[in-house]
A and B are shown apart, each in its own frame.
Chain A
Amino acid sequence: MDYKIEDNFLDKDTFKFIEDQLMGTQFPWYFQPGVVEEGDDGLWTYLAHQFFAENRQQSNYMQVLQPFIDMLKPRALIRVKANCYPRSETSHQHNFHIDCDYTHNLALLSINTCNGFTVLEDGTKIESKRNRLLLIDGSTKHASTTCTDAQIRVNVGVNFF
């Protein structure tokens, strides 16, 4: 399965600014009653913040991510969303899902290092490492997991052409 990893994707200052915002106590996270739309048991939840969807900006915090988005050089944005998975006692893998059913790019930027990871359809596990970028086709199946060694697992997903 095709994927690309780039560690230390953003320069230190740019990443630190994003990290400070998303890991700070004032950032608005919104409760999501299920991690994936179908097949979940309904007991696993997470928090999210939607920056861009439905072809328009959805958040006043968009400028926080703008340097990151600019680095991706997108021709068209589909969705920009930050995810925050609370720690669980044991690691839990959510169900596999796709973001959209047409071929496009998904860039996942890990905000903190933890033992949570992203699982690709072929079983490949991509660990969450601070400032690591994972690039995959967002129409291929992938799954997220919780972590056990940090309070939260935070990443930012950008779906784009």
Chain B
Amino acid sequence: MSFTNLMTIALDSILDEVTCNGKCTPTVVELGNQRLKNNKSRAKMYNKLQTTGTPGLSTTKEFFLDIGFRKYLAIDVNTEMDAVALDLNMDLEKHYGFKDKFDLVTNNGTGEHVFNQYMVFRNVHNLCQVKGFMIHILPFYRWVDHGFYNFQPNLFPCLALQNNYKLHGLWIGTSDGHQIEKLSGKLSRDKGYRNQYNLDSWERDPMIVAIMQKKENNEFSPPQQHLYNNENIASAEISNRYK
């Protein structure tokens, strides 16, 4: 996957908080190694940071270190581009003993290629520090036969509710960042997105962006879709599991 304008814009939206306005040096882990591509949005971010950035950066790690992060790691199936090879279908803590925590965890165009979605979101949760941030940028609409899955907006408010995350942003947008629509983050599904945002006319396939903050040191818990929650569940054994 590429570290696109959309990813940079998402990062920019929480950069002040992640870096404590430049007073702390956070750590980041990315699911999937990322090819650095986003010159325009990076220039905007550097402007905001009142710096020109180091010229000639070629890797995403160099970029993160350049904007104040102290540690970068990618997790992929190979060791290219500063990655460590770990299988995201597996529980990283239990299978590999990998218990490191990071201030920022990104799932930028990677999770859709992994079969075990429970484990993807569980690993993101476990990799994230309390008060740390999680950015998911995943295929939403079209993206025909791109990965195993596309993702729907209502997943993320439900995920946030179940795990007590703060939902900082829920967007649909294109990888080049030219089109971004900010959604309300409501729990209920909305079949109107396609027409409301005229998604069929978008030149590039729309992605979903979810920016969330982990608020407590809790065990990961899979959500129930809001549509089928509460009074729709007849079994107390099931309903007691969900918020």
Question: Is A75 close to B, CB under 8 A?
Answer: yes
Asked whether A75 lies within 8 Å of B96 as measured between CB atoms, the reply is yes
Asked whether A102 lies within 8 Å of B85 as measured between CB atoms, the reply is no
Asked whether A76 lies within 8 Å of B100 as measured between CB atoms, the reply is no
Interface string of B79-122 (1 = CB under 8 A from A): 10000111000000001111110000000000000000000000
With A103-B98, A103-B100, A161-B86 as contacts: A55 and B78 at CB distance below 8 Å: yes
Distance in angstroms from A127 CB to nearest chain B CB is: 27
- Name which residue of chain A comes closest to B75, CB basis: A102
CB neighbours of B78 from chain A (8 A): 55
CB neighbours of B96 from chain A (8 A): 75-76, 161
Question: In the bound complex, how far is the Cα of B70 from the Cα of A101, in angstroms?
Answer: 11
- Name which residue of chain A comes closest to B95, CB basis: A75
- Name which residue of chain A comes closest to B101, CB basis: A103
Question: Is A54 close to B, CB under 8 A?
Answer: yes
CB neighbours of B71 from chain A (8 A): 101
- Name which residue of chain B comes closest to A78, CB basis: B84
Interface string of A102-115 (1 = CB under 8 A from B): 11110000000000
Question: Is B73 close to A, CB under 8 A?
Answer: yes
Asked whether A54 lies within 8 Å of B86 as measured between CB atoms, the reply is no
B residues 16-57 touching A (CB-CB < 8 Å): none
Question: In the bound complex, how far is the Cα of B78 from the Cα of A96, in angstroms?
Answer: 28
Asked whether A102 lies within 8 Å of B100 as measured between CB atoms, the reply is yes
Question: In the bound complex, how far is the Cα of B85 from the Cα of A101, in angstroms?
Answer: 14
Asked whether B85 lies within 8 Å of A76 as measured between CB atoms, the reply is yes
Please report the total number of A residues contacting B with Cβ < 8 Å: 12
Asked whether A76 lies within 8 Å of B73 as measured between CB atoms, the reply is no
Asked whether B79 lies within 8 Å of A161 as measured between CB atoms, the reply is no
Question: In the bound complex, how far is the Cα of B106 from the Cα of A1, in angstroms?
Answer: 31
- Name which residue of chain B comes closest to A100, CB basis: B84
Distance in angstroms from A139 CB to nearest chain B CB is: 8
Q: Which of B73, B85, B86 has the most CB of A within 10 A?
A: B85
Asked whether A102 lies within 8 Å of B98 as measured between CB atoms, the reply is yes
With A75-B95, A161-B98 as contacts: A102 and B84 at CB distance below 8 Å: yes
Question: In the bound complex, how far is the Cα of B86 from the Cα of A161, in angstroms?
Answer: 9
Which of A54, A100, A161 is in CB contact (< 8 Å) with B97?
A161
- Name which residue of chain B comes closest to A74, CB basis: B96
Distance in angstroms from B161 CB to nearest chain A CB is: 31
- Name which residue of chain B comes closest to A161, CB basis: B96
Distance in angstroms from A124 CB to nearest chain B CB is: 22
Distance in angstroms from B9 CB to nearest chain A CB is: 28
Distance in angstroms from A136 CB to nearest chain B CB is: 14
CB neighbours of B84 from chain A (8 A): 78, 100, 102
Distance in angstroms from B89 CB to nearest chain A CB is: 13
Which of A55, A103, A105 is in CB contact (< 8 Å) with B85?
A55
CB neighbours of A103 from chain B (8 A): 97-100
Question: In the bound complex, how far is the Cα of B84 from the Cα of A11, in angstroms?
Answer: 32
A residues 71-113 touching B (CB-CB < 8 Å): 75-76, 78, 100-105
* 13 CB-based A-B contacts, threshold 8 Å: A55-B78, A75-B95, A75-B97, A76-B85, A100-B84, A101-B71, A102-B73, A102-B84, A103-B99, A103-B100, A105-B97, A161-B86, A161-B96
